Amino acid sequence: MNRAIDAAGPLQGRLSAPGDKSISHRAALLAAVAEGVTTVEGYLFADDCCATLNAVSVLGARVRRDGDRLEIEGTGGALSEPDRELDLGNSGTGARLLAGLLAARPFETVVTGDASLRRRPMSRIRDPLERMGAAVELTPPGDTLPMRIRGGGLEAIEYALPVASAQVKSCVLLAGLFARGTTCVLEPRPCRDHTERLLAYLGADIRVDGDTIELEGPASGGPRLRARPIVVPGDISSAAFWLVAAAARPGAEVTIEGVGLNPRRSGILDVLRRMGAEIEITEREAEGEPLGDILVRGRTLNGTEVAGAEIPNVIDELPLIAAAGALAEGRTEIRDAEELRVKESDRISAMTAHLRAFGAQVDEREDGMSIAGGARLQTPDAPLPGYGDHRIAMASAVLAAACGIPAEIADVGCVDTSYPQFWEHFAALGGSTRGIEVNP
């Protein structure tokens, strides 16, 4: 299915962001090894997080869904041997975090995923898990999925992350929950800390001091995570689509309610403010992760630079920041973002191609791109490929909405990976889009 975005006026209105994808994965995984029944409100029922739920239920956690509410009866750590391969679909987070839990179990599991996930690098989790004592076999030649893990008998390690990746950090911590001794992880740059927060909330013995995280393994037997209710905030990475669509278009005014404002995730607000966006935040009372409503009024934006320590904070918003750069006056530089090349698609080359199709001038670099703003954007000559990558498809839809010109995005099914209500929300804010059946 393709999607046509019609020319329309500036977006207006308010809506609630869907549940946070990163926190939903962690809620499912930690509840599965906790003692007792965890209730989860606001879980993201999108393809990625449903794949994680499915995996934990195959591993013996009891999962019940009642409307938007989820109940997960934990195994207390004793995940059971699965009777089939675990397919994490498109989800890097699901596959890499789950591997941390499987590394602790004395049986063999095969973890696989869709064609995109089977291209993504997995040696980054194999290396620390093997040092802890698990046997992890990846598929040659690229050390990718399918991955065969045989775990058990883990020893804690001290691990300096070679890449600033919250997935690798979390994988090591989840294994460390079951390892003998104190697991210590050092981050080269701050990346999202939802795992640390949730572990602390569920009673793990975890300490964070600057760039160092220490986690105690079980004193005896299993971990002592105790089920407690989890409320998942709205996903700032999903809210960001509307924030950018509104910020870059004079006349737009959009409020996104209930958005998670974890300081390691909210860099998109800093970037947009640097570009001149008008943003007002109303914080809300919340336990756990900080939360608030975000109001954005549209203006003409200016270019900016995004690099260094800011990159992990905005890693999933970079396609959108590139789109904002094409809409801004002046130059936008994105550097130190080579990780984008190993996401669901090569997001540097995908966004370069899309922005050029809209008429923007872009220099592609190995670790980012340089975008000359101020170009007169136009309708692309042909439907833009979605590259099977939800963020690319949605960022390009937003670019069309923000400049008010028609465009067609191909194969938009990938949007369900993280944001199944995306088109509905687009319409709720006054956008006009149409599904187009494409004959095979």
Ligand X SMILES: C=C(OP(=O)(O)O)C(=O)O
Ligand Y SMILES: O=C(O)C1=C[C@@H](OP(=O)(O)O)[C@@H](O)[C@H](O)C1
Is 167 annotated in some ligand binding site?
yes
Among ligand X, ligand Y, none, the one that 91 touches (CB under a kind-dependent 5 to 8 A) is ligand X
The DSSP string of 22-52 is HHHHHHHHHHHHSBSEEEEES---SHHHHHH
Q: Counting contacts by CB under 6 A, is residue 391 touching ligand X?
A: yes
How near is the Cβ of 96 to ligand Y at its closest, in Å?
Answer: 7
Q: What are phi and psi of 35, to 5 degrees?
A: -95, 125
How near is the Cβ of 103 to ligand X at its closest, in Å?
Answer: 19
Among ligand Y, ligand X, none, the one that 216 touches (CB under a kind-dependent 5 to 8 A) is none
Query: Based on CB atoms, which residue is closest to ligand X, 26 or 391?
Result: 391
When binding is defined by CB under 6 A, the residue of 24, 91, 144, 352 that contacts ligand X is 91
Is 118 annotated in some ligand binding site?
no
How near is the Cβ of 106 to ligand Y at its closest, in Å?
Answer: 26
Q: What share of the chain is helix, strand, coil (3-state, %, to 5)?
A: 35, 25, 40
Nearest to 325 by CA among 306, 307, 308, 341: 306
Is 169 annotated in some ligand binding site?
no
Sheet of strand 212-216, all strands in order from the earlier edge strand to the far edge: 158-160, 182-186, 212-216, 206-209
Is 205 annotated in some ligand binding site?
no
Catalytic residue among 193, 316, 389, 411: 316
Question: Environment class of residue 366 by beta-carbon count within 10 Å: exposed (0-12), middle (13-18) or buried (19+)?
Answer: exposed
Which residues of this chain interact with ligand Y, rule CB under 6 A? 22, 92-93, 165-167, 170, 192, 315-316, 339
**Binding-site residue total for ligand X (CB under 6 A)?**
10
Amino acid at 74: G
Q: Segment near ligand X (CB under 6 A), from 54-62, 89-97, 173-181, 214-222?
A: 89-97
Is 391 annotated in some ligand binding site?
yes
Query: Based on CB atoms, which residue is closest to ligand X, 91 or 313?
Result: 91
Q: Counting contacts by CB under 6 A, is residue 344 touching ligand X?
A: yes
Q: Counting contacts by CB under 6 A, is residue 316 touching ligand X?
A: yes
Q: Counting contacts by CB under 6 A, is residue 312 touching ligand X?
A: no
Query: Based on CB atoms, which residue is closest to ligand Y, 23 or 301?
Result: 23
Query: Based on CB atoms, which residue is closest to ligand Y, 120 or 425?
Result: 120
SS3 state of residue 200: helix
Cα–Cα distances in Å, from 32 out to 51, 86, 217, 225, 316? 14, 15, 17, 10, 27
Among ligand X, ligand Y, none, the one that 192 touches (CB under a kind-dependent 5 to 8 A) is ligand Y
How near is the Cβ of 84 to ligand Y at its closest, in Å?
Answer: 25
Q: Counting contacts by CB under 6 A, is residue 313 touching ligand X?
A: no
111 with 79: CB under 8 angstroms? no
Is 22 annotated in some ligand binding site?
yes
Please list, in sequence order, all residues whose beta carbon lies within 8 angstroms of the beta carbon of residue 440, skipping any fewer than 6 positions away: none
Is 347 annotated in some ligand binding site?
yes
Q: Counting contacts by CB under 6 A, is residue 24 touching ligand X?
A: no
When binding is defined by CB under 6 A, the residue of 18, 42, 76, 92 that contacts ligand X is 92
Query: Based on CB atoms, which residue is closest to ligand X, 238 or 352?
Result: 238
Among ligand X, ligand Y, none, the one that 344 touches (CB under a kind-dependent 5 to 8 A) is ligand X
Residue 33: HSE in the Cβ half-sphere, 13 Å Cα cutoff: 29
Query: Based on CB atoms, which residue is closest to ligand X, 232 or 252?
Result: 232
Q: List b or e across 389-422, with b for residues whose CB sees 16 or more CB atoms inside 10 angstroms.
A: bbbbbbbbbbbbbbbebebbbbbbebbbbbbbbb
Please list, in sequence order, all residues whose beta carbon lies within 8 angstroms of the beta carbon of residue 58, skipping any fewer than 6 positions away: 82, 83, 84, 86
Alpha helix (H) residue ranges in 231-317: 236-247, 267-274
Q: Counting contacts by CB under 6 A, is residue 192 touching ligand X?
A: no
Q: Counting contacts by CB under 6 A, is residue 418 touching ligand X?
A: yes
> Is 316 part of the annotated catalytic residue set?
yes
Among ligand Y, ligand X, none, the one that 249 touches (CB under a kind-dependent 5 to 8 A) is none
Task: Give Rg (Cα) of the chain.
Answer: 21
User: Rounded to whole angstroms, how far apart are CA atoms 246 and 390?
Assistant: 20
SS3 state of residue 236: helix
Query: Which residues are annotated binding-site positions for phosphoenolpyruvate?
Result: 21, 92, 120, 167, 347, 391
Q: Which residues are catalytic?
A: 316
Binding residues for ligand X, rule: CB under 6 A, are 48, 90-93, 316, 343-344, 391, 418
